[in-house]
Structure 1
Amino acid sequence: MKKNRLLAKWLNDDLSPDELAEFEAGPDFEKYQKIKNYTNHLEISDLDENAMLSNILAQKKTTPKVVPLYKKWLFKAAAIFVLALGITFAMKFLVPQTHKADFGEKTTFSLPDNSEVVLNSGSEINYKKWNWDNNRHLELKGEAYFRVAKGRRFEVQTLLGKVTVLGTQFNVKARKNRFDVVCYEGRVKVNYGNTQILLTHGQSVSFENGKEIKMTVNSLKPEWTQNQICFYKENIRSLLDEVERQYNIKIELNTKDSIALFTGKLPAKDLNTALQIISTTYHLESKKVSENKVIFDEK
C-alpha cells in the first residue's frame, strides 16, 4: 500500500525530499521513470462536453414499436379461430362419415345430394362429403334401402360386390357370403366377381358362395322397412343371424344344421311369433332363458 501511495505522489510531483530519495532508491524506479517520460509526450484533446451533448440530442430517436396487449390477444384469437375452422372443415368434409344401425334398430339419413338411405339392423355405411356431387361413392356393410336423387353415377361398394345407378330406388344386402340386390325403380348395374347384371324395375338378383340364385320381387319396397323380415331360400343359420340383429338377442342352436332352406316372412316386432314360426318350420323347441337369450333344442 505504501509503495502505491508513493507512486501516486511521485506522478503528481508531490513527494517530500526524504520520500523522493526513498522512492528513487527503489528497484522499480527506472521502469517508472521510462513510463513517465513516454506518457509526457502523449496529447489528449480537451473533452467538449457541450458538443457531445448537442450531438446526442440531435440524433433521431427511434421509438420502439409497442403492440398493445389487446391486439396480441386478437391475433391469438384469430389464429385459434382459423385453426378451429380448418379442423371443422376437415372433420365435416374430408374425414369419412359413418352411419350405423345397431342390433334391434333401424336408422334413416340423407346424403349431401338429398338421396335417402334407410339402414337395417346391424348395418353400417361410410362415405366422404368432399366433392360428393362428382363422386357419389359409399361403402356398405349389411343391408340398406336407397332412394337416390338423380345426378352423376352413384356407387354402393360392399365386400361381396358393387352396385351402380344413376337415380333410382334399390335395396342392397351383403351378409357373410350372401349378396342380394333388388331394383324398385329405374335401373341398377350389379357387379359380382366377373359377373355383371343389369336390373330394371321389379327385378332382383342374389348370389351365395359364388352361385347365382333366381329371386322374384313381390313388393314395392323392402319388407324390412315395414317391420317384416323376408327370406328367400336361406339356411337356418342366416335366418337366426337376422333374427338376432332385428331383436338384439343371442340365439343358441343345439341341433345339427338343417339343409332345408327357408322362404317366407317373420315379424320384426313380435319375437314370440317369430320364434314360434321357426320352431314349427324346423321342428324345434324354443326357450327364453333370459330377456336377451333364446335356446333352440331338438324336440
Structure 2
Amino acid sequence: MKKDRLLAKWLNDDLSPDELAEFEASPDFEKYRKLKDYTAHLEVGDLDENAMLSNILSQKKAAPKVVPLYKKWVFRAAAIFVLALGITFAMKVLVPQTETADFGKKTTFSLPDNSEVVLNSGSEINYKKWNWDNNRHLELKGEAYFRVAKGRKFEVQTNLGKVTVLGTQFNVKARKNRFDVVCFEGRVKVNYADTQILLTHGQSVSFENGKQIKTVVSLTQPEWIGNEIAFYKENIRSILDEVERQYDITIELNTKDTTSLFTGKLPANDLNTALQIISTTYHLEAKQVSKNKIIFDGK
C-alpha cells in the first residue's frame, strides 16, 4: 500500500526529498521511470460531447430487411415439398414391398435387378428394394415362377423351405404342407427341414407332410403359365383348393375325401371342363348353386 502511495505522489511530483530518495532506491524504480518517459509526450484532446451527439443523430438508420409474405410462403412450400419427397423415397426404398396375385389372376413384375417374377393366383411376395443387389432375398407365400438375372445369391424363403440360386429359371410352390421346386435352367439349391438337394436343368423335388416325393419334369416352364393346372400325386382337397384360387370361386365337397391321388392337368381358363374332369375322376356330381359357388356331391 505504501509503495502505491509513493508511486502516485511521484507521478505528480509531490514527493519530499526523503520520500524521493526512498522511492528511487526501490527495485522497480527504473521500470516506472521508463514508463513515465514514454508516456510524457502523449496528449489527449478535449472531448466535444455536443459534436459527437450531432454526428450520431445525423447518420441514417439502416432500414430493416423485410421479406415479403409471399416469399415466406414459397420457402415454406419448398421445404414441405422436399420433406415429402424424402419421405416418399424412404417409403419406396426402405419399406418392404409387397406384390400379390388375387384369386383368379396372375401378376408379373420385375425386381430391382430386372429379375422377372410371375405370381400364380392367391400368392404373395415380400422384399426390400434397399441394397437389393447385395441382398437378393424375398419371402413367398404360394407359387411363383422366377427368371433370375445373374448376380449375387438369390434366395426365396417360404414357410416350408428355402431355395437358393445365382442366375436361373425355376418354380416354387408352397401350399399348406406341400412344397414343390422345379428347375428349368441353371442350378438351384433346396433346403427343406434337414434336407438339402441340388437341382439342375429339368429336375424337381417335392415334399409333403415332411416326406419327399419323387417327381418328373419334361417342360421348359410351369404349366400354369400356359393356363393349365398340373398335379402330381395330389389329393382331392389340394386339387379343389387350387381350382378355387384359379377361378376365384368357393367349392364345397359333400362327401368323404377319397384317398386316391390325382396326377394330371386341368384347364385354368375353362371351369366347366375342369369340373367335368374332377367329377369323372372321383365319381362326383358338380352343381353350380351360384355364380361363385360349386357343390360336389357323391354319386
Q: TM-score, normalised by structure 2?
A: 0.80
Match of 1:200 in 2: 200
What SS does the aligned partner of 1:80 have? helix
Unpaired segments ≥5 residues, structure 1: 1-49
Measure, in 1, the Cα distance between the counterparts of 2:210 and 2:257: 21
Shift of 1:58: 4.7
Moved >4 Å (runs of 4+): 50-53
Taking the aligned partners of 2:267 and 2:214, their CA distance within structure 1 comes to: 24
Q: Which secondary structure state, in structure 1, belongs to the residue aligned with residue 181 of structure 2?
A: strand
Matching of residues 140-155 of structure 1 within 5 Å? 140-155=140-155
Counterpart for residue 100 of structure 1: 100
Q: Secondary structure at the match of 2:218?
A: coil
Determine the structure 2 residue equivalent to 1:228.
228
TM superposition shift of 1:52? 9.9
1:95-124 deviations in whole A, cap 9, x for unaligned? 111111111111111111111111100011
- Who is 2:250 aligned against? 250
Q: Distance in 2 between matches of 1:67 and 1:290?
A: 70
Q: Distance in 2 between matches of 1:170 and 1:200?
A: 10
SS at match of 1:215: coil
Distance 2:58 2:233 in 1: 103
Residue 65 of structure 2 is aligned to residue 65 of structure 1: yes
Deviation, 1:273, is: 0.8
Which amino acid in structure 1 is aligned with residue 136 of structure 2?
A: R
Larger CA deviation: 63-72 vs 109-118: 63-72
Q: Equivalent residue for 2:282? A: 282
User: Equivalents in 1 of 2:228, 2:138: separation in Å?
Assistant: 26
Alpha-carbon distance between aligned partners in 1 of 2:55 and 2:137, rounded to the nearest angstrom: 78
Matches within 5 A, 1:82-93: 82-93=82-93
C-alpha distance in structure 1 between counterparts of 2:110 and 2:292, whole Å: 32
Report the secondary structure of 2:256's partner residue.
coil
Q: Which residue of 2 aligns with 1:38?
A: none
The number of residue pairs the alignment matches comes to 250
2:270 alignment partner in structure 1:
270
Secondary structure of the 1:67 match is coil
Deviation of residue 259 (structure 1)?
0.8
Q: For residues 126-205 of structure 1, what are the structure 2 equivalents within 5 Å?
A: 126-205=126-205
2:43 aligns with none
What SS is found at the alignment partner of 1:72?
helix
> Which string of whole-angstrom CA distances, capped at 9 and with x for unpartnered residues, describes residues 141-193 of structure 1?
10000000111111111111111100000000000111100000000001111
| CA offset digits 1:183-208 (Å, max 9, x no partner) | 00000001111111110001101111
**Which of 83-92 and 262-271 deviates more?**
83-92
Output the CA distance in 1 between the equivalents of 2:137 and 2:59: 71
Within 2, Cα distance between the matches of 1:56 and 1:288? 101
Deviation at 1:67, TM superposition (A): 2.0
What code does the residue aligned with 1:194 have? Answer: D
CA distance in structure 1 between the partners assigned to 2:199 and 2:74 by the alignment: 60
Secondary structure of 2:258's counterpart equals: coil
Residue 198 of structure 1 aligns to which amino acid in structure 2? Answer: L
Determine the structure 2 residue equivalent to 1:297: 297
SS of structure 2 residue aligned to 1:232: strand
Match of 1:281, as an amino acid? T
After superposition, the C-alpha distances for 1:191-240 in whole angstroms (9 at most, x for unaligned) are 11111111000110111111111111021110000010000111111100
* Displacement of 1:66: 2.0
Q: Post-superposition shift, 1:282?
A: 0.8
- 1:78 deviates by 2.0
Cα distance in 2, alignment partners of residues 92 and 249 from structure 1:
34
Q: Report the counterpart of residue 78 of structure 2 in structure 1.
A: 78
Other structure's SS at 1:151 match: coil
What is the percentage of aligned positions where both structures have the same residue?
Answer: 85
Amino acid at match of 1:92: K
Partner of 2:24: none
Q: d(CA) in 2 for partners of 1:245 and 1:169? A: 24
Q: Distance in 2 between matches of 1:55 and 1:114?
A: 76
Give the whole-Å Cα distance in 1 for the aligned partners of 2:150 and 2:65: 60
- The code of the aligned residue for 2:117 comes to V
By how many angstroms is 1:81 displaced?
A: 1.8
| Amino acid corresponding to residue 67 of structure 2 in structure 1 | V
Distance 1:269 1:136 in 2: 34
Match of 2:20 in 1: none
